[in-house]
Amino acid sequence: MPVEVRVRYAPSPTGEPHLGNIRTALFNWLFARHWGGTFIVRIEDTDVTRKVEGAVENNLKSLRWLGLDWDEGPEVGGSHAPYFQSERLALYQEVAVRLLEEGYAYRCYCSPERLNEMRQEQQSRKQPSGYDRHCLGLSHSQVREYEVQGITPVVRFKMPLEGETAFEDLVRGHVSFENRLLDDFVMLKSDGFPTYHLANVVDDHSMEITHVMRAEEWLPSTPRHIQIYRVLGWEPPLFVHLPMILGPDRSKLSKRHGATSVLEYRDMGYLPEVVFNFLALLGWSLDDKTEIMSREDVIKSFTLDRIVKAGAIFSMDKFTWMNGHYIRQLSTQELTKRLLPFLERPYGKGGLPDQIQRPIDTGYLNKLVPLLQERLKTLASTGEMNTGEMISPFFLDKLDYDVKLLVQKEMDITGARSALEESLRLLEILPDFNAQMLEEKLRALSQVLGLNTRQLFGILRVAITGRTAAPPLFQTMETLDRERCVMRIKAALESLRHVPVL
Catalytic positions: 255
Question: Any idea of the CA torsion for 410, 413, 415, 418, to the nearest 10 degrees?
Answer: 150
Can you tell me the distance from the alpha carbon of 158 to that of 84, in angstroms, rounded to the nearest whole number? Answer: 27
Distances in whole angstroms, Cα of residue 66 to Cα of each of 25, 29, 30, 62, 284: 10, 11, 12, 6, 18
Can you tell me the distance from the alpha carbon of 378 to that of 284, in angstroms, rounded to the nearest whole number? Answer: 25
Hey, which bits of 271-327 come out as E strands? 312-313
User: Which uninterrupted H or E stretch holds 214?
Assistant: strand 211-215
Strands 245-246 and 312-313: parallel
Q: Name the 3-class secondary structure at 327.
A: helix
Can you tell me the distance from the alpha carbon of 190 to that of 48, in angstroms, rounded to the nearest whole number? Answer: 13
Residue 212: which of 8, 11, 34 has the closest Cα? 8
Q: CA 1: distance to chain centroid?
A: 31
Residue 270: which of 316, 310, 237 has the closest Cα? 316
Q: Name the 3-class secondary structure at 94.
A: helix
End-to-end CA distance of the chain: 83
Residue 215: which of 376, 26, 365 has the closest Cα? 26
Distances in whole angstroms, Cα of residue 413 to Cα of each of 116, 465, 500: 76, 19, 8
Can you tell me the distance from the alpha carbon of 326 to that of 358, in angstroms, rounded to the nearest whole number? Answer: 27
Q: CA 417: distance to chain centroid?
A: 50
Residue 99: which of 158, 185, 161, 146 has the closest Cα? 158
Phi/psi for 115 (5° steps) reads: -65, -35
User: Which uninterrupted H or E stretch holds 174?
Assistant: strand 173-178
SS3 per-residue string spanning 373-440: CCCCCECCECCCCEHHHHHHHHCCCCCCCCHHHHCCCCCCHHHHHHHHHHHHHHHHHCCCCCHHHHHH
Can you tell me the distance from the alpha carbon of 232 to that of 234, in angstroms, rounded to the nearest whole number? Answer: 5
